[in-house]
Chain A
Amino acid sequence: EPEVTQTPSHQVTQMGQEVILRCVPISNHLYFYWYRQILGQKVEFLVSFYNNEISEKSEIFDDQFSVERPDGSNFTLKIRSTKLEDSAMYFCASSEVPTGQNTEAFFGQGTRLTVV
């Protein structure tokens, strides 16, 4: 079964450092997303990406965050200067068509980011 893969599974970084979280979406999917889940809290939308552009972003996704699809297969989330409150599980997801068409979004297994 095709799956979304994320690397690394766990990243520890010092406050103020840049991190890049990597994702390989399912190959025929066109819509990509990043979500995050702070421990014990709900899953929160960060950003959606289609046709090499951000199509929607949340208030959380400020200037410290950026996304890129550098080579047609990887989809990355960069946090420029990490803060303690960025510590969370970050999930990448992809879908074949927009999720508004009752379609499933497939989630990767997540990257646990710990900022110390």
Chain B
Amino acid sequence: RKEVEQDPGPFNVPEGATVAFNCTYSNSASQSFFWYRQDCRKEPKLLMSVYSSGNEDGRFTAQLNRASQYISLLIRDSKLSDSATYLCVVNILTGGGNKLTFGTGTQLKVEL
């Protein structure tokens, strides 16, 4: 089983739509959870951290279910500028330190 698994998409949605991405992780020792955004051939940038209680940042809502090892991201009222690859990222505490483990990413294309 992959450490972090995501549907690669692409998700093609019209502007203004609501879209949801899901992610599962296999390591129950995972500590911290994030959604990063990556534009084509650019570096990953943090979109938001994901907390157990769920959290919202404007049009973006993230949820974490530790029991099911499942993370989600909801984007409401999607904009053309939301087109990107969304990376589910899990921090795993190892014997030596921390490492971020990335999913393959889900590609979103928002269209007129």
Contacts and interface: CB of A to CB of B under 8 A. Distances in A.
Interface residues of B, number: 27
B93 interface: yes
Contact of B31 (A45, A50, A56, A100): A100
Contacts, number: 71
A102 B101 contact: no
A107 interface: yes
A35 B34 CA distance: 16
Nearest to B94: A56
Interface residues of A, number: 30
Interface in A44-70: 44-45, 48, 50, 54-58
A35 B32 CA distance: 18
Contact of B102 (A42, A106, A108): A42
Interface in A19-61: 31, 33, 35, 41-45, 48, 50, 54-58
B44 interface: yes
A26 B34 CA distance: 20
A74 interface: no
Given A99-B32, A100-B31, A110-B43, A45 B100 contact: yes
A18 interface: no
17 contacts: A31-B98, A41-B104, A42-B102, A45-B101, A48-B97, A48-B98, A50-B97, A56-B95, A56-B96, A56-B97, A56-B98, A58-B99, A91-B43, A100-B32, A100-B91, A107-B44, A108-B43
